[in-house]
Every structure is written in C-alpha cells, then in structure tokens.
A = this chain, B = another copy of it.
Amino acid sequence: MASIKPRTMSEFLRWYWRLISAPQARSAVRLVFELYALALRNPRAYPGVLEEPVAFWPKLVAAMGVESEVDDVESTLLLAALRGLLLDLCATSDRRRTGAAMDLLARLFEGVDSRHARNHPDSR
C-alpha cells in the first residue's frame, strides 16, 4: 500500500485507484456492478446500493483527511469516472490504459484544486 498519505484530491484519486484496481479487488468490483444492475431494476429490494452518489466522495475524502474541497458537481463527475473506469477494467483487464485515464482525470482535477485554493486561500 502507498505509504504517503494523500493530501489533495489528485493525490487521493491516484492512491484510491491503486487500491481498487488491484487484481485482488476485481471480483468484489464485478459484484458491485451486478448489484447496480439489480438495484436499477428493483430499487426497493436493494436499498442503499445506488443511493447518495453525491455523499460518497465528501465522506471518503473527509475520512482520509484530504484537504481538497469537492462540491456536488465535482463529486458526481469523480464518482462517475471511477465507476466507469472500474467497469472498463472489469471488462478488459487493461490496468495500464484505465490507470492512465485515472491519471488524466487526476491531472484535470489539479486545476480544480488550484481554483479552490485561490478562492479559499485561508483553508489551505
């Protein structure tokens, strides 16, 4: 596991991807997509499976002590990209390409992090 604690959202994304894209996590990730499909068909039978996508990142990020702020829209895009990349990884097992796409997302979010830092200089 990575020994350096992630401090920004970009660092966190790379750290989290290394964890969740590992081959040992693959069967759990595949199961999650089966649960999603079941929950889309019958939401009441699978409470919590697809709920609160907006709450996912702020909770995780706060639990990890990451300093970046994420608003609802950023959280939505981050979770969407993560889910989509995991679906691709499960389907293709191409960890290099999906990892590079996560790295591109992290780089794109470095600009978002900077903007937050500019807007809230005292919070850094």
Report which A residues bind B (CB closer than 8 A).
30, 33-34, 36-41, 43, 50-51, 53-54, 72-74, 76-77, 79-85, 87-88, 90-92, 97-98, 100-102, 104-105, 108-109, 111-112
| A72–B97 CB distance below 8 A | yes
Residues of B within 8 A of A109 (CB): 108
CB distance from A19 to the nearest CB of B (A): 17
Given contacts A33-B36, A79-B84, contact A73 B101 (CB under 8 A): yes
| B101–A77 CB distance below 8 A | yes
- Distance, CA A34 to CA B41, complexed state (A): 8
Residues of B within 8 A of A81 (CB): 77, 80-81, 84
| A105–B77 CB distance below 8 A | yes
30 contacts between A and B (CB under 8 A): A33-B36, A33-B40, A34-B41, A36-B87, A37-B38, A39-B91, A40-B90, A43-B91, A50-B91, A50-B92, A53-B88, A53-B91, A53-B92, A73-B100, A74-B104, A76-B97, A76-B101, A77-B85, A79-B84, A79-B88, A80-B81, A80-B83, A80-B85, A80-B98, A80-B101, A82-B84, A83-B83, A83-B84, A84-B84, A108-B109
